[in-house]
């Protein structure tokens, strides 16, 4: 959510500032959400790749590179391609979080933590991106912020997983829960 919320909030405003029609500005976002939905559906058959390090790192790095591409070359054509491909990342990321929170241990606790993180990340993404755009006086610099946060997030998450940090384990009382 840290990277999707600024994208969906600020991209239309950036396009309006450059004189791009609302219809043309909405098409890349429409493609993003469409690809995201289909990728999320496809993930139901690819559950075996969830929580593996290699797909996780590849998805984060590719998403970060797509944000860099839009930052370096902020054209509508690049946005169409990058936002469509980012839909794959968003579909993967959302499916992972929803699948985990719904299918492991203490579901209520997991869903609560997931929703807290979604809300906090969305607000943090908006405020951080807006602050950076004002600081640099460049509206396109939000793409660099999104890329940097994806890389930072990947490093922190990968480090936690690799360090062997123990997580809370819950025993299921009833397998029908």
**pLDDT tens profile 14-33:** 888 888 898 998 999 999 99
pLDDT in tens, 65-95: 999 999 999 888 899 999 999 998 888 877 7
Residue tagged 């998403």 (tokens):
63
The CA distance from 41 to 2, in Å, is: 22
Taking only the tens place, the pLDDT of each residue in 134-151 is: 999 988 888 999 999 889
What is the pLDDT at residue 176? 43
The CA distance from 43 to 102, in Å, is 15
Contacts (Cβ under 8 Å, ≥6 apart) of 114:
97, 98, 100, 101
Q: Minimal CA–CA distance to 10: which of 61, 70, 58?
A: 70
Delimit the domains of the chain by residue range.
4-163
In sequence order, what are the residues at sequence separation of 6 or more whose Cβ sits closer than 8 angstroms to the Cβ of residue 137? none
**Can you read off the two tokens belonging to residue 130?**
């807006």
pTM over 0.85: no
* Sole residue written with tokens 């509206």: 139
What token pair was written down for 37? 């939905």
Q: Give the Cα separation of 12 and 135 in Å (integer).
A: 20
**Position 177 pLDDT exceeds 70:** no
How far apart CA 24 and CA 47 sit, in angstroms, is 35
Answer for the pair 146, 1: CB distance below 8 angstroms, yes or no.
Answer: no
């Amino acid at each position: 959510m840290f990277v999707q919320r600024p994208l969906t909030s600020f991209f239309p405003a950036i396009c309006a500032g450059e004189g791009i029609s609302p219809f043309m500005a909405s098409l890349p976002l429409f493609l993003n959400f469409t690809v995201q939905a289909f990728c999320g559906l496809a993930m139901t058959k690819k559950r075996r790749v969830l929580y593996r390090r290699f797909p996780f790192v590849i998805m984060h790095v590719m998403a970060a590179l797509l944000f860099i591409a839009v930052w370096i070359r902020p054209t509508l054509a690049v946005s169409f391609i990058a936002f469509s491909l980012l839909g794959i990342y968003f579909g993967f990321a959302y499916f992972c979080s929803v699948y985990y929170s719904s299918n492991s241990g203490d579901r209520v606790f997991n869903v609560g933590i997931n929703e807290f993180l979604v809300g906090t990340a969305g607000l943090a993404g908006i405020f951080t991106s807006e602050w950076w755009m004002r600081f640099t006086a460049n509206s396109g610099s939000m793409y660099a912020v999104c890329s940097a946060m994806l890389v930072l997030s990947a490093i922190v998450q990968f480090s936690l997983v690799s360090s062997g940090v123990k997580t809370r384990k819950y025993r299921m009382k009833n397998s029908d829960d």
